Structure 1
């Protein structure tokens, strides 16, 4: 059976489970993200109840154990569950295969803009203050975050939106909004409303950069790797998680890297007026 987006064919009759998700739509994408978030928070709560997490947020980077159990394990579990979900729906090629809509050259700007603060954070980090095992665990954490969050929002959510017939402008905006709203869950960890608000706005811009990166490279894999490089270098340079403006390394370089958060949002807004087309339209005129 040909799928709704016309990109793959199934050789067997889809199950009721597959038919439900194949219809796509923004509310299915939102519901799936809420379920993802609930399970993620549940796993984190369970880890804490078992006494495996850090005593408080100040201890998160104190040892590889606190990084792994306090941060990496819940997101690792979610990544594995997402792989299982993609396999169960038969969307492996749609999520990990070639993008059905070609990108445009201007979209390479997103790749460059994401890489610049990564380099600045690497230069700003006080590497001597970290044990090498902590650094390696934080890098592993970044890979887990990049994989899970990109497969969820630029993979599963994008497939659902495209299957419902949304144009690429709506796909970009809605998937980026979904990505941003996921970070509102930081309220549950005790972050202030102001900090969470700034994070949500920034992550909308960053999510748009990831969408553009996926489009222009033709695959979700580069977006995963860019995301996987962003989070750990930011954590190591600032000494915190989702704490805009925090610094632990060279203040001037961290401040410069942080300014790109504003650039992401500005470019995201401009991109809303430039992106068009639909997944079923493979013509070179799609922008």
Structure 2
């Protein structure tokens, strides 16, 4: 009976449909919020509500703990459907040279933020904890959106243009959840636009490098350096700390513009044969 249930579970997810990609994200976000609520009740006293980067414990329990739980849930899901190898193996559709332009584009602001962060304001322990938490953010979000969602869409026979757009759109729309945290509507809408562009960048990083791990690592450096440069999560007061950060700030807008340009050139499709993805046409 256990084997039949496992087979049925795997068969359900193997039949790629766009709504299943949305479903797995909704289920994850619901469990993530639940984990955040429970962890907040248990360890909320460790979090400095006025300054989440006040100390390492505040960073970990305020940002990292729910993400760690989310990472564990996604690993269990991926293992249960037998997708560990397909997601972490080489991309079934090869990248092209021009995609490396976008890899450089996302690395440049990371380097600038590293150079411009006011480390004295935070201390070594807070910076180290932020980077540690960033590893889980990069791993979890890329595994979900560029791993699970992309695989479901590809298994559904969608062209890579559609895969790139839908996976980035789902990634962006998931940030509407920030409305539940009391963020202003305008701030959330701007975040949705920016994250769509960033999602496209991560898709292109995955295609260019041929492996999702590189997208995970770049994403893992993007979020914590953004938080530390801005002075908080979804804050924007860090640019005054250093002229270098003034140079890094416009890259969110460049990501959106670059994403729109990249969409002109994305081609290809992956088909599933005996659950093994094969490139059916080159880019």
Tell me which interval the TM-score lies in, with the shorter structure as reference length.
over 0.9
Q: Residue 275 of structure 1 aligns with which residue?
A: 266
- Confirm or deny: 8 A CA contact 2:48 2:58 kept in the other structure: no
Equivalent residue number for residue 141 of structure 1: 133
Whole-angstrom distance in 2 between the partners of 1:72 and 1:135: 13
Distance 2:242 2:180 in 1: 29
Structure 2: gaps of 5 or more residues:
272-277
Contact 1:124–1:249, Cα closer than 8 Å, also in 2: no
CA–CA distance in 2 between the matches of 1:144 and 1:58? 24
Distance 1:51 1:13 in 2: 37
The answer to whether the aligner puts 1:188 opposite 2:188 as a matched pair is no
- Paired position in structure 2 for 1:95: 87
Q: Equivalent of 1:65, from 42, 47, 57? A: 57
Aligned equivalent of 1:256: 247
- Following the alignment from structure 1 to structure 2, what is the Cα–Cα distance between the partners of residues 59 and 47? 18
Q: Displacement, 1:286?
A: 2.2
- Mapped contact 1:33–1:152 kept (Cα < 8 A): yes
Contact 1:235 1:241 in 2 (8 A): yes
- Please state if 1:178 is matched with 2:178: no
Residues 77 and 210 of structure 1, relative CA distance in 2, 3 Å threshold: same
Q: Deviations over 1:180-237 (max 9, x none)?
A: 1121111111111111111110000000000000001100000000000101111111
The gaps in structure 1 that reach 5 residues or longer are 1-11
CA contact (8 A) 1:47 1:53 kept: no
Total equivalences in the alignment: 274
Q: Which runs of structure 2 are paired with 1:221-236 in the superposition (5 Å)? A: 221-236=213-228
8 Å contact 2:51–2:232 — kept in the other structure? no
What SS does structure 2 have at the residue aligned with 1:101?
Answer: coil
- The DSSP-based 3-state class of the residue aligned with 1:102 is coil
Alignment partner of 1:208 is 2:200:
yes
Q: CA deviation at 1:55?
A: 5.3
In structure 2, what is the equivalent of residue 286 of structure 1?
A: 282
The alpha-carbon deviation at position 75 of structure 1 amounts to 0.4
- Taking only aligned residues, the RMSD between alpha carbons, in angstroms, comes to 1.8
Contact 1:124 1:253 in 2 (8 A): yes
Residue 6 of structure 1 is matched in structure 2 by none
1: CA distance, partners of 2:59 / 2:6: 41
Q: Which deviations, in whole Å up to 9, do the C-alpha atoms of 1:223-278 show, x marking residues without a partner? A: 000000101111111111133x3316634322321201111001111111110110
- Three-state SS of the structure 2 residue aligned to 1:105 is coil
SS of the equivalent of 2:250 reads helix
TM-superposed CA distance for 1:46, in Å, is: 1.1
Q: Whole-Å Cα distance in 1 between the matches of residues 244 and 13 of structure 2?
A: 45
Give me the TM-score of the superposition, normalised by structure 2.
Answer: 0.92
Matched with 1:49 is: 41
How far does the alpha carbon of each residue in 1:88-112 deviate from its partner, in whole angstroms, 9 at most, with x for none?
A: 0001111111100000100001110
